A and B are shown apart, each in its own frame.
Chain A
Amino acid sequence: MNRMNNPEPIPEELLSALLDGELNDAEVEQVNRALANDANLRVTFEELKQLRGELRSLPRHSLSVDFAERVTAACRDVEQSPQDGGRAVELAPASLSAAPVADTPRAVGRSNRLRMIMAVGAMAATILIGLFAINAGRPDLSVAINDADIDPSSAEQKSGTSELAAPADGFAADELAADDIAARNVPELDTMALDVPAQRQEFSLAAEESLVEESRNGVALAEAADAPVPSTPVPGTPVLRFDGGVPEAAVAYDAASLPNTIDPTVAANALDAGVDLADGVQQLEPLATRGGEYDVVVRLVATESERLQLASVASLASTSPPNADFNSAVSFRFFESTPRSAEAEVLQDAGVEKPVDAAAPEMRVIEGTAAEIATIFASLNLQPVSTGSPNQNQLAALGIVEPPAMRAKRGVARESLARGAASASPARTANMYAIQPSQSPRPNASVTPSIVANVPASRAQSAVPPTSSADDPKIASATLNQSVPQPQSAMRRYQSEDDVTIATSPASSNAADASRNLSKATQSSAGDATQRSRIAQRRFGVDKESAESGTPGVSGFGGAAPADRRYRILLLIQPAE
């Protein structure tokens, strides 16, 4: 074939690249050949060239001569952020975040806005975990962890473990004692956030014997201490970033009052660390209902399997019945470039029809209560991870999952849990979380909803238990409260924010089995309720009084979050290399 007469077609974007001098020699030659043989291509190239020239010839303007002086004058009244907030999260400028639209800077004169900005500049840096605890002290736990599918007869199952941060029956007494100490000494997280040095000292007292506390605070302290953040995240390394802040006084979900920005400096700093929040926000804009404000931005580098699992959970959540709140708990922007799938159909239903850029970070907006978000986060924990995995550490710091170090202690227990899970729940759908319906609170009983994590169906159906840690189920679950009465019904649909179910019809019968097995398991270990609730209290920031009084709820966010408090989280999920 005469290649000169029949040059292979080229992607048109090469024309732009040629224009920009971004092609290598071979590509230049290829494009030139194509141009020589295609008049239409030449026309397009000339059009692009002309357009480029026009853009570059746009009139250049200058600001007024006194602009710099005015800015400098304003700067003199602005306190710079403290040094230790190098990577700390800043509360958003009040003018940009807390005020309803009507009070945004636009409605304020320029001088007032400058004053607002100056005032904001004097605000102390906050630590990301603290934002979740803004409403600490409120009642109502919304999610807890149940021991699921643990063979009650197995002695080993007493040290049940859970990817979802199960307390272990097998905690040594001294560890429990340490937990108690830590729990008693844990300050309210909303006060933690405001004073990093004090927080560090405080936690040094409480956390030295508690791996959980260390890991929970590790993120916050590391952030506050301006710990170096790799510019190129290694697989599994999350970069938790805060957004511009949530109004501290936010009481209830109120779209009008939610901030509408990501703190630009936070975004800029994130960019330094290789995380582009603004781009993520931009790409989410078509789906964003309230602009780009997030309680937290979590960037994860996830394996393909993890991404798919998250997509699966997200899809299930979005197709779940009909609680509008939960259906809005997950919105998603991109999926892998797979053939049309259920996820893609859901995207289309959401009015999103964009080409999938497999190389782009996958972004998900998670919006929901702590319970719902904990469920989603738990789905990121489906792969067995080695002790000390950054993902695990970070998520453990949020109180969502058990710290890996703790989990490592229960390596043997994990196997037994897997055996129990496998035998107890045949044919469960992989990667599906079934959350038991919550029970009505009873006096003096901590009745909590539970998250039951399923094991992959293949393992579930197998009568042969896993024999090595590598075969551990992706997910296990544990109960915190052993006084949960046996659920009367099969997996129920989501009814309220305290009663969350992610289920699909094919799994409902299996979920019912799981539910029944769960109850059986929970009832059998009633004696550990006190220990579990104590650990849950420390781990999840459960208010001790509320836990003991029967008010359920665990935030999973390091603080006692109210059940109705809605969070908004941006997940940036970068494919692992």
Chain B
Amino acid sequence: MTDDSLNQDQRWVEEALAGKVESFEMLVRRHQDRLFNTMVCVTGCVHEAEEVVQDAMLQAYSKLTTFQGKSQFYTWLYRIAFNLSVSRNRKKRPRVSLEQAQDDHGLDPLDEGERPDASMERSERAQQLYQALNQLSEEYRSVLVLREMEDFDYETISSMLDIPVGTVRSRLHRARTMLRDQLRESIGEPGPASS
């Protein structure tokens, strides 16, 4: 995010704390989709992701006074959402697949206009990716999502997860290789070369 964006976030936070709920709505609008897409990867379920984001936003609002601005608002918000997803994950809620969500609710990707067959392939591959992501443990999934979906650098991930940069690097690599192996299994490819 640019400095202007960060400053804008801070201004909205301050205004929301002063009682201007509309400013919080601006924060929600700015970050909802980004957070939602990340949570889809984290939770593997569209419905759950939406609930997580909603709950996270409410939590963020109710606890906004405790946000001290030492991190970016989105980082703080992400942590709330991530922790919510962790707790939900432990309850092992049944999940709605992306495909089912698309069928049930017409949840369409933002980018449209593909050929139908390409769209189906893409959807199937995406589903495989989501499923493979869900097979990862949280410690690996979290670094992978933060890197690939949020494009955070190692330092940021390190500070967000409170792990050393070296651990970020090793976990990220491990997550990628595990994901690769999972995908191979899902499409019936031979086992991976040792890595």
A residues near B, CB below 8 A? 12-13, 15-17, 20, 22, 40, 43-44, 47-48, 51-52, 54-56, 58-63, 67-72, 74-76, 78-83, 85-88, 90, 93, 96, 101, 104-106, 110, 113-114, 117-118, 120-121, 231, 260-262, 264-265, 267-269, 271-279, 281-283, 285, 291-292, 357, 359-361
Cα-based distance from A277 to B86 in the complex (angstroms):
12
Contact, CB under 8 Å: B142 / A282: yes
Contact, CB under 8 Å: A268 / B80: yes
Main secondary structure of the interface of A (DSSP, over half): helix
15 pairs, CB–CB < 8 Å, chain A vs chain B: A22-B153, A61-B37, A68-B29, A75-B25, A78-B62, A80-B17, A85-B65, A121-B58, A260-B87, A265-B59, A268-B79, A277-B83, A279-B142, A282-B142, A292-B86
Cα-based distance from A59 to B121 in the complex (angstroms):
12
Interface-centre pick from B40, B54, B56, B149 (highest chain A CB count, 10 A): B54
Name the residue on B nearest A101 (C-beta): B91
Cα-based distance from A364 to B138 in the complex (angstroms):
18
Task: Confirm or deny: B63 has a beta carbon within 8 angstroms of a beta carbon on chain A.
Answer: yes
> For residue A121, which residues in chain B have a CB less than 8 angstroms away from its CB?
58, 61-63
Encode contact with A along B75-91: 1 for CB under 8 Å, 0 otherwise. Answer: 11101111110110011
A63 contacts which of B50, B56, B111, B144 (Cβ < 8 Å)? B50
Q: How far is the CB of A347 from chain B (nearest CB, A)?
A: 17
> For residue B51, which residues in chain A have a CB less than 8 angstroms away from its CB?
110
Contact, CB under 8 Å: A61 / B36: yes
Which residues of chain B from 20 to 40 have any CB-CB distance to chain A below 8 Å in the complex? 21-22, 24-25, 28-29, 32-33, 36-37, 40
> For residue A44, which residues in chain B have a CB less than 8 angstroms away from its CB?
177, 193, 195
A78-B62, A275-B162, A279-B142 known, 13 other contacts, Cβ within 8 Å: A17-B154, A54-B125, A63-B53, A118-B58, A118-B62, A121-B58, A260-B90, A264-B56, A264-B83, A271-B79, A272-B71, A278-B82, A278-B83
Q: How far is the CB of A157 from chain B (nearest CB, A)?
A: 45
Cα-based distance from A48 to B172 in the complex (angstroms):
11
Contact, CB under 8 Å: A20 / B154: yes
> For residue B153, which residues in chain A have a CB less than 8 angstroms away from its CB?
20, 22
Cα-based distance from A211 to B119 in the complex (angstroms):
70
Which residues of chain B from 158 to 182 have any CB-CB distance to chain A below 8 Å in the complex? 159-164, 166-167, 169-170, 172-174, 176-177, 179-180
Number of A-B contacts (CB under 8 A): 251
B residues near A, CB below 8 A? 17, 21-22, 24-25, 28-29, 32-33, 36-37, 40-41, 46, 50-51, 53-68, 70-71, 75-77, 79-84, 86-87, 90-91, 93, 107-111, 122-123, 125-126, 129-130, 137-139, 142, 144, 147-149, 153-154, 159-164, 166-167, 169-170, 172-174, 176-177, 179-180, 183, 193, 195
In the complex where A72-B25, A291-B87, A360-B163 touch, is A56 in contact with B66 (Cβ < 8 A)? no
> For residue B56, which residues in chain A have a CB less than 8 angstroms away from its CB?
264
Contact, CB under 8 Å: A20 / B79: no
B109 contacts which of A59, A75, A277 (Cβ < 8 Å)? A59
In the complex where A40-B193, A72-B22, A268-B80 touch, is A120 in contact with B62 (Cβ < 8 A)? yes
Cα-based distance from A40 to B59 in the complex (angstroms):
48
Contact, CB under 8 Å: B162 / A104: no
Contact, CB under 8 Å: A51 / B183: yes
Contact, CB under 8 Å: A78 / B162: no
In the A-B complex, list the 7 residue pairs whose CB atoms are closest, starting with the nearest.
A121-B62, A276-B162, A59-B109, A264-B83, A13-B173, A261-B87, A16-B173
Cα-based distance from A360 to B55 in the complex (angstroms):
30
